[in-house]
Amino acid sequence: MSGLGASFGSGAMTNSIEDLAKAKAFFVIGSNTTEQHPVIGAVVKRAVRRGAKLIVADPREIELARIATLHLAQRPGSDIALLNGLCHVIIREDLHDKKFVADRTEGFDEMKAVVGTYTPARVQEITGVPAADIEKAARLYALSKPAAILYCMGITQHAGGHATVMAIANLAMLCGNIGVEGGGVNPLRGQNNVQGACDMGGLPDVFPGYRKVADPEARASVEKAWGAALSDKPGLTVVEMMNAAHEGKIKAMYIMGENPLVTDPNLHHVEEALKKLDFLVVQDIFFTETAALADVVLPGAAFAEKDGTFSNTERRVQLVRKAVEPPGDAKPDWQIIAELAKRLNGDKASWEYASPAAIMAEAAKITPQYAGISHARLEKGGIQWPCPSQDHPGTKILHVGRFSRGLGKFSAVETIPPAEPSDSDYPLTLTTGRRLQHYHSGSMTHRVAGLNTLLPEERMEINPCDASPLGLKEGDMAVISSRRGQVKARVQLTKRIKPGVVFMTFHFPETAVNLLTIASLDPVAKIPEYKATAVNVARVE
């Protein structure tokens, strides 16, 4: 999100799901859309059937790759080179939108100078994608307007994730695909309410509405609203928290609805860090791997047991309605937080909320994008932010006529190799992802019998070219090792995956792939590099 924020001024999906149907071309990079966002995947498939062009850039032959006009199977961690290569060809062949570039952007010349060095031949060298395909993809994207870019964690979960997003923004601006129906840069948000958790200030550097905690003006307005002095020092991100806990600088944590002991990178390190804490409170609906390390476990409520709102990937704030009671003594999480907050200071009045609608009313006052949003309005249907006033209908497309930051900013970005390239000890590159049938650490989906029937266990995908010298056959057990740990998994031989690359998901705690992954962080976005880990694979006798 930080990459788009730098380029456009707002780090959210620029267009709407409905809008995607109007695209003449799609460029899908780092998103296995049909498995991770299945309903959007179907929108793309339908558009392709109607004649839209589809370019897929993914090291795996994902489902969309099979119906793509062109599939570019780049090496993990080479996305910036690929994107720069596309910009190179578009500028060289004079296919860019010169009016858009002149009127709406800045930094073109600096970007042009850098992408000028990314000739198709050089990009082929870095990415493994044939130069002719790079040229073909550039022409397809530039000549089919409007064209929508879809991306996901395949882009951001790299050491150079932030820069890669800026490279995506470059490509879209170069062809004038911003602020138009059927175009845009569309990061697909993974969790049901990851957009909302960010919007509401669940981040270490911003208040609700992305106003910086370090900005005196923003801080003053929140201080006034809450009647309390606030810290101006940006906090730690999740991986930094684990490191600080490991070093003894963080002594207590309160974790709600997260299971870092499965989902975070380098799990041995996370486990040590959480065990070093003096005190840990975990609030969840199940006794998760993380809860087992807690001093106090608080039973929360699932989505069907409470009122509230989720904000989806297209910035649409929608109601979540209580349908059943929480089990036993479990309580809605908003009540638990408020009860705990009352015990943390004397100011009980500011934590008395009659309902989630009252909480939203307070949040909307300090969140400019949500200023016009209330539960009463949402009863009539979801609203896409920014929605600055009660009579504002919401915003389907961002950056129409003007970018949030004024002019769109081209960024000169150079290729950034993975932090841990493969070598003779760890000759394969592990890239991790998700599958259709399960969700994250599986605490919900493993408790649905039918989903376990459809996908009972983890399978590591490996190309037959890599499997055969290791003596691995379909269904064999393999041990996969990295510099940080090892796991065992059954193997699935498939040509869907490039030689040199293996694929696993993090859905199965018993096959905890994050024991292997590296906690190297993008320097700006602080996202760990899940998509490229050097590993060694051996057959289990």
Residues 465-504 that bind other proteins (CB under 8 A): none
Stretch that binds other proteins, among 125-133, 319-327, 476-484, 495-503 (CB under 8 A): 319-327
Phi first, then psi: what are they for 24, rounded to 5°? -90, -20
With binding defined as CB under 8 A, does residue 532 bind other proteins? no
Torsion of CA 489, 490, 496, 501, to 10 degrees: 40
CB of 67 to other proteins, least distance (A): 8
Here the tokens at position 194 are: 């990851």
CB nearer to other proteins: give 244 or 407. 244
CB of 133 to other proteins, least distance (A): 25
CB of 327 to other proteins, least distance (A): 5
The correct pick among 10, 74, 195, 511 for binding other proteins (CB under 8 A) is: 195
CB nearer to other proteins: give 15 or 127. 15
With binding defined as CB under 8 A, does residue 65 bind other proteins? no
The correct pick among 28, 82, 363, 419 for binding other proteins (CB under 8 A) is: 363
The C-alpha atoms of residue 93 and residue 510 are separated, in whole angstroms, by 52
Contacts (CB under 8 A) with other proteins, residues 42-61: 42, 45-46, 49
The correct pick among 296, 400, 479, 538 for binding other proteins (CB under 8 A) is: 296
Here the tokens at position 133 are: 């395909």
Contacts (CB under 8 A) with other proteins, residues 198-227: 198-205, 207-208, 213, 222, 226
Stretch that binds other proteins, among 51-59, 96-104, 130-138, 524-532 (CB under 8 A): 524-532
CB of 480 to other proteins, least distance (A): 20
Residue from 303, 313, 315, 307 nearest 383 by CA: 315
With binding defined as CB under 8 A, does residue 380 bind other proteins? no
Contacts (CB under 8 A) with other proteins, residues 263-282: 263-264, 278-279, 281
DSSP characters for 365-413? HH-GGGTT--HHHHTT--EESP--STT----SSSSSSSBTTBSEE----
Q: Is 456 exposed, middle or buried (0-12, 13-18, 19+ CB in 10 A)?
A: exposed
The C-alpha atoms of residue 411 and residue 174 are separated, in whole angstroms, by 11
CB of 432 to other proteins, least distance (A): 10
CB nearer to other proteins: give 37 or 112. 37
DSSP characters for 297-314? EEE---GGGS-EEEE-TT
CB nearer to other proteins: give 115 or 363. 363
The correct pick among 286, 368, 476, 500 for binding other proteins (CB under 8 A) is: 286
With binding defined as CB under 8 A, does residue 235 bind other proteins? yes
CB of 129 to other proteins, least distance (A): 27
Q: Are 50 and 95 in contact (CB under 8 A)?
A: no
Q: Are 159 and 416 in contact (CB under 8 A)?
A: yes
Stretch that binds other proteins, among 37-45, 80-88, 142-150, 413-421 (CB under 8 A): 37-45
The correct pick among 95, 236, 407, 524 for binding other proteins (CB under 8 A) is: 236
CB of 160 to other proteins, least distance (A): 14
Phi first, then psi: what are they for 303, rounded to 5°? -55, -30
Q: Are strands 316-320 and 459-462 parallel, antiparallel or unpaired?
A: unpaired
The C-alpha atoms of residue 275 and residue 320 are separated, in whole angstroms, by 35
CB of 158 to other proteins, least distance (A): 12
Contacts (CB under 8 A) with other proteins, residues 101-130: none
The correct pick among 51, 99, 109, 324 for binding other proteins (CB under 8 A) is: 324
Contacts (CB under 8 A) with other proteins, residues 431-470: 436-437, 439, 443-445, 447-451, 453-454
> Identity (one letter) of the amino acid at 32?
N
Torsion of CA 23, 28, 32, 37, to 10 degrees: -30
CB nearer to other proteins: give 154 or 196. 196
Contacts (CB under 8 A) with other proteins, residues 16-35: 17-18, 34
Token look-up 């991770």 returns 36
Stretch that binds other proteins, among 138-146, 197-205, 415-423, 484-492 (CB under 8 A): 197-205
Q: Are 273 and 243 in contact (CB under 8 A)?
A: yes
- Going from the C-alpha of 318 to that of each of 1, 81, 375, 401, the distances in angstroms are 21, 38, 9, 27
Report how many residues bind other proteins under the rule CB under 8 A.
145
With binding defined as CB under 8 A, does residue 356 bind other proteins? yes
Q: Are 512 and 141 in contact (CB under 8 A)?
A: no
Here the tokens at position 470 are: 């290791």
The C-alpha atoms of residue 161 and residue 36 are separated, in whole angstroms, by 19
CB nearer to other proteins: give 95 or 244. 244
The correct pick among 113, 121, 220, 228 for binding other proteins (CB under 8 A) is: 228
Distance of CA 172 to the CA centre of its chain: 19
With binding defined as CB under 8 A, does residue 344 bind other proteins? yes
Stretch that binds other proteins, among 91-99, 170-178, 246-254, 400-408 (CB under 8 A): 246-254
CB nearer to other proteins: give 86 or 149. 149
Q: Are strands 477-481 and 533-539 parallel, antiparallel or unpaired?
A: antiparallel
With binding defined as CB under 8 A, does residue 348 bind other proteins? no
87: which residues sit within 8 A by CB, 6+ positions away? Answer: 111, 115, 118, 138, 167, 170, 171, 174
